[in-house]
Amino acid sequence: MEVSIVVPLLNERESLPFLVERLHGVLQRMQARYEVILIDDGSIDGSWEEITKAAAADPRVKGIRFGRNYGKSPALNEGFIAAQGEVVITMDADLQDDPDEIPELCRMIREEGFDLVSGWKKKRFDPLAKTIPTKLFNWTTRRVSGVMLHDFNCGLKAYRKEVVKSIEVFGEMHRYIPFIAKKEGFRRIGEKVVKHHPRKFGKSKFGLDRFINGFLDLLTITFVFRFGRKPMHFFGSVGTLMFVVGFLSAAWVVAEKLWHVYVLHEHAPRVSDQGLFFVALTSMVIGVQLFTMGFVAELVHRYSPERNVYRVKERLGC
């Protein structure tokens, strides 16, 4: 298999026939052996019936159906597991991504040696309420991740097969696949300006809350990659620092009390009357708690089950 097209979707019944027709046309002109994997993420509008029709008409179209809506990341992860092509292309099903970009994306992977090529919707047909937060989100992600892409959230991307078989996409981490790939050692990451078309059918599945969630996910993935396999290094370090600060503060309060009483022979306030005493006590308690959290995190990491927990209801050709 040369090319796999992975398309996660939710309630895109109207656009699916047009998308599948366009994909067949482009891929047949490429004279490539290909497969189109459509992942229905719990649609309730008849999308699965359209996928079934497309699969019956052409065995190169395959379908995966979730029992309910789990999100784009689990859908992509399941598509990556099923993909057999040497080049894997992901795109959205709403017809805003242009299938005509596929040949050039494949060429960049095959001939230019990129591990991953991300689309950049330089000219967008979105309202300002969406484009301005998107620019801020991309700027922040570039600074934190070190991956210099303009459009992390573009659904149109191309991957070398080894990349999708080496990464796991869970939660809402699909926005950070280039960051995940880089952390897994795939550092040849490119970018291509792609066409962006206005939405023809339905409505966007994403609201402004995705930008807040995206920032939180960025903090999560940064923490996970740095401390996910060694949580005690984070909690233990901070806990130790807090405990030492508390212990030294307590020692200072006690030493000051003894100095006044036994050296200067004068009255000194009670230890419990000094504010620093409570700072010291609180710091030591927090330090012990963080240390305990570190031990618990190590146990959770050692015995944790799979993170991608979802139920595939049906498969067609996969």
Domain ranges in the chain?
A: 3-227, 231-303
Dihedral Cα 115, 168, 82, 201, nearest 10 deg: -90
pLDDT at 305 over 80: no
pLDDT at 156 over 80: yes
Is 145:182 a contact under the CB 8 Å cutoff?
yes
Residue 65's alpha-carbon distances to 8, 50, 83, 109, in angstroms, are 10, 12, 15, 29
pTM of the model: 0.73
Q: What is the number of residues in the chain?
A: 318
Mean per-residue pLDDT, 286-296: 88
pLDDT for 314: 76
Closest alpha carbon to 148 in 157, 156, 139: 139
Q: What confidence tens digit (pLDDT) does each residue in 94-111 have?
A: 999 999 999 999 999 999
For the chain, the C-alpha Rg in angstroms (whole number) is 27
The pair phi, psi for residue 224, each rounded to 5°, is -60, -45
Residue 191's alpha-carbon distances to 85, 107, 134, 194, 269, in angstroms, are 21, 13, 17, 9, 67
CB atoms within 10 A of CB 88: 28
The pair phi, psi for residue 23, each rounded to 5°, is -65, -45
- Which of the residue ranges 20-24, 38-42, 110-114, 145-149 would you say has the lowest mean pLDDT? 145-149
- Spell out the SS3 assignment of 68-119: CCCCHHHHHHHHHHHCCCCEEEECCCCCCECHHHHHHHHHHHHHCCCCEEEE
Tokens found for residue 311: 């139920």
Residue 32's alpha-carbon distances to 87, 276, 304, in angstroms, are 11, 73, 41
Q: Report the CATH fold assignment for 3-227.
A: Spore Coat Polysaccharide Biosynthesis Protein SpsA; Chain A (3.90.550)
Tokens found for residue 148: 């210099």
Q: What confidence tens digit (pLDDT) does each residue in 175-204 have?
A: 889 988 998 889 999 999 998 887 777 666
